[in-house]
Amino acid sequence: MRAVSLHGDVIVVTSQIFQAHCTFVRDPGGEETVAIDSPVLPEELELLPALVEQAGFRPPRGLLATHADWDHLLAPLAFPEATLGCAESSVERLRAEPGAAQRMLRHFDEELHIERLRPLSLAALQPLAVPGSCGIGQSELELHPATGHTADGMAVWIPWARVLVAGDYLSPVEPPLLGEGDQLDAYEMTLERLHPLALQAEHVVPGHGPPLDGAAAVRLLLQDRAYLQRLRRRGAEAELPPGRRSRAHRELHAQNVSRL
């Protein structure tokens, strides 16, 4: 696990699995901390409280998940007393699929022979209106709709730090991956919404892959948008984005084609 400070009030922790992130945000007055998304491995989650303390941040009372995929929902294992907030669409998805996230986590753990100290509990969820905002101390985080990779979700803009936590978008290690059903229009709309934020951003935290500076994120966003346009026109013959053309990426492209 690796921790990097993007701003005096923003620390990003990167998991060894999936290059997934947990982003800790402190309000400018230092009164409150929020954790966004999660690392994956049990030992990483166990280290988070000590890491927050060493950084001089207060323990988070609030957790956010950008969407309801299981690998973004594990922060309650590190901070069981904190409240987990999600977009209303994510809460609806979790309630419509009771136990699905826990089953996928259990399957992942069984495959890799991983043991956890406690089961994942998602019983207490706070639905958040998106678009909207989330209070942190005397400041607010902006919540922006982010769908297309899944039918639910949000991106989080930290205005005073100019950091965008993009959920599973703008990844330098994956091409755009469409959710089940016809999500191409929704994905393109998400990129349009994220574009002005990326133009303002000092840093962008994708769902997977290293954090990006703002200029790199804008370049990647334009590449992703061009790929989706090619996918719409050419289907299986569409060329993948630069730097994301490996065999594994081609398999994800084939999955996109099957979901059009």
d(CA 180, CA 108): 20
Alpha helices in the chain (DSSP H): 42-54, 75-78, 88-96, 100-112, 184-200, 214-234, 247-259
**Contact (CB, 8 A) for 93 and 152:** yes
Residue 124 has a pLDDT of 83
H helices of 16-175, in order, are 42-54, 75-78, 88-96, 100-112
> In the chain, what are the domains?
2-259 (3.60.15.10)
Residue-wise pLDDT tens for the chain (260 aa)?
A: 899 999 999 999 999 999 999 999 999 999 999 999 999 999 999 999 999 999 999 999 999 999 999 999 999 999 999 999 999 999 999 999 999 999 999 999 999 999 998 899 998 899 999 999 999 999 999 999 999 999 999 999 999 999 999 999 999 999 999 998 879 999 999 999 999 999 999 999 998 999 999 999 999 999 999 999 999 999 999 999 999 999 999 999 999 999 98
Cα-based distances in Å from 40 to 14, 16, 34, 54: 9, 8, 18, 21
